[in-house]
Amino acid sequence: MIKTSFKKPSKADITDTDKASATRSQALIVAAFDFGTTYSGYAYSFKDTPNDVITNKSWTAGSGKLITLKTPTSLLLNQNGGFDSFGFDAEDKFSSLTEDGKHNGWRLFRRFKMVLHNQCISRLATVEDLEGKTFPAKPIFTMSLKYLQKHLLDALSMRTIGTLETDIRYIITVPAIWGIAAKQFMREAAIEAGIDGDRLKLALEPEAAAVCCEAQSHTLAGKKFMVVDLGGGTADISVHEKQRDGSLKNIHAPSGGPWGGTYVDANFTTFMTYVFGEVAMTALQSNEMYDYFDMLRDFEVKKRKFEFNSQSDITFRIPVVLKEIAEKNFHQSLSDRLASLKYGKKVLLKGRDKLGVDSSIMQSWYTDPVSKMVNHISSILKEERIKDVDLIILVGGFAESPYIQQRIKVELPGKQLIVPGEAGLAVLKGAIMFGHKPDIISSRVMDYTYGIRVRSIYDEKKHPAERKVYIDGKWGVKRSFEIFVRANEDVNVGSKVTHLTTPAREHSTITIYRTKDRDPTFTTDPGCEKLGKIEIERDKDIPLNEQETKTTFMFGDTELHVLCEIAKIGKVQKLKLDLTK
């Protein structure tokens, strides 16, 4: 294969044709980034062979052993606060620096994606490094995406000749349960990383997984089915129906919660801290980073293999230095230490560097997050419109756990369970297919009621008397909620709803709101949330009553789009989300 550079063309190199190449109905290449809580990766495929998805298979840990088809979502900053490395490289380099006592000023960030699970995310959000020090979140996300994009372009340069970066349509996967602000945050980070916003689309993770499963010839025709995407941080759940035309109809608003695999990891870490002491665990993390990461990676392997009905002890390899520090700190051997704890014979020392743990203890680490997830699935399946759903498709890295699969089978009897091959890559592969054919999702169920704030005519049957005010010779009410679409409504992808309003002044603001309530009256009602606003300046030479504003909501996409147009002069403004909180 002849090598050729695959770099971004300069502005001078990009023609109008180039700019349009990946914004046409079908791009030459679709590339997707799965930016996960625990692991991240990318994949791509070409227009002529869209289902031949190519993933990177060269992520390796310091030991040289291939751990996963993705790399850890870990980023290392150098002493000047600049990007140094990402993934296994970042973890291994920071480990090396700590071993040599040269890590002062270097900062490692791990598993920072969960900051976006916060519904009130802002541009000023921060993330913590491994030592608990904060740093602005946006640059961390931006640098991570920039690295993944460069890795992708380098990989493509080994396979293609004469292809421009502008031939690529980019897809970034996001949890369906994320709020609008989190999606906007991710889009802004990607654009700041150098990804063209016009060639960027967000794909909802469980939807992407559904597309992948459908493409793998699972018999879904005419069926309603639930997709449960279990990643490191979240369980993301959606329900779909396969249409006759091959498209997928979303029939339940996305839902889920923070019940991913990292919560099992946290329980393991809590257990190890209890056994060995906080002093020893802190010293291991601070001074023996290689051993610390090896311990976590060893647990990851055990976690993925553990079974629900296991009766066998699980043997964990423990760093010798951790044992030595604990014995020194507690002034007793580790065997004596274990004998004094509440576990009895359920935790035993095996040789110099192994710990035998009874399966019941391992099970307890899964209980809380998995129980919450299974209970949530069960509650959805009891809803009237979902009662006939008898198929559950389980995807995501955590879905590969036999424990998870067996718990669902036991607690949801009568439901068919499908776990596709390489379940951890289902979202990534499906995102690629979605990028080639975005209209494969035909409709979605709205998760909120959306509308704008208006002044309306007073209606004594609808409005409390104390809310009426005298405005321009009429009795009216302020802060009325003008509904565009209601929660739980089916909305076709690409559908538009337009309302006309007449301005009262030259400068005005169209303010966008949402609520879970299907019939809000005022934007001040409990549960109403201001999403953002559109500022409008009108023509001073044209009477205000001739400058009606057309506010259009475009529904059904993975992101919310709102446009305001002054009908008389054709001036268009877009929604600016409020991420300044």
pLDDT the model gives residue 23: 43
- Show the beta-strand stretches assigned E in 56-167: 71-72, 74-77, 83-86, 107-110, 126-128, 134-136
The C-alpha atoms of residue 501 and residue 442 are separated, in whole angstroms, by: 30
Read off the DSSP letter of residue 438: G
Q: How buried is residue 166: exposed, middle or buried, by Cβ count under 10 Å (0-12/13-18/19+)?
A: buried
> Which residues, other chains included, contact 315 with Cβ-Cβ below 8 Å and sequence gap of 6+?
350, 354, 355, 356, 357
- Closest Cα partner for 377 from 224, 209, 256? 256
User: In residues, how long is the chain?
Assistant: 581
Partners of 48 in the beta sheet? none
CA 152 to chain centre: 20
- Domain 218-257+369-439 classification at class level: alpha beta
> Which residues, other chains included, contact 527 with Cβ-Cβ below 8 Å and sequence gap of 6+?
515, 516, 517, 520
CA 466 to chain centre: 44
DSSP H helices in 258-401 = 262-276, 278-287, 289-305, 320-330, 334-340, 359-381
> Which residues, other chains included, contact 412 with Cβ-Cβ below 8 Å and sequence gap of 6+?
374, 377, 378, 381, 392
Helix axes 289-305, 88-99, angle to 10 degrees: 140
Fold match flag (16-204 vs 446-577): no
pLDDT the model gives residue 250: 87
The C-alpha atoms of residue 25 and residue 255 are separated, in whole angstroms, by: 30
- Domain 16-204 classification at class level: alpha beta
pLDDT the model gives residue 221: 66
Per-residue b/e over 206-219, b at no fewer than 16 CB within 10 Å? bbbbbbbbbbbebe
What amino acid is encoded at 36 in this protein? Answer: G
Helix axes 402-411, 359-381, angle to 10 degrees: 50
pLDDT the model gives residue 22: 43
Domain ranges (residues) in the chain = 16-204, 218-257+369-439, 262-364, 446-577
CB atoms within 10 A of CB 91: 27
pLDDT the model gives residue 10: 39
Q: What is the pTM of this model?
A: 0.81
The C-alpha atoms of residue 489 and residue 144 are separated, in whole angstroms, by: 36
For residues 337 and 327, is the Cβ–Cβ distance under 8 A? yes
The C-alpha atoms of residue 99 and residue 62 are separated, in whole angstroms, by: 14
The C-alpha atoms of residue 485 and residue 518 are separated, in whole angstroms, by: 9
What tens-digit pLDDT sequence spans the chain (581 residues)?
A: 223 333 343 333 333 333 333 444 568 999 999 998 988 999 999 999 988 999 887 676 655 444 567 899 999 999 999 999 999 999 999 999 988 889 899 999 999 998 988 767 777 899 999 989 999 999 999 999 999 999 999 989 888 777 789 999 999 999 988 888 889 899 999 999 999 999 999 999 888 988 888 776 556 667 889 999 998 888 999 998 888 777 888 888 888 888 988 999 999 999 999 999 999 999 998 888 889 988 998 898 888 889 988 888 999 999 999 999 999 999 999 999 999 998 888 999 998 889 999 999 999 999 999 999 999 999 999 998 888 899 999 998 889 899 999 999 999 999 999 898 888 889 999 999 999 988 888 888 888 999 999 888 888 788 888 888 887 778 888 899 999 999 989 888 888 888 888 777 778 788 889 999 999 999 999 999 998 888 888 777 788 777 888 888 887 778 888 888 887 676 777 766 655 44
Q: How buried is residue 410: exposed, middle or buried, by Cβ count under 10 Å (0-12/13-18/19+)?
A: exposed
Please say whether the structural domain 446-577 has been given the CATH code 2.60.34.10: yes
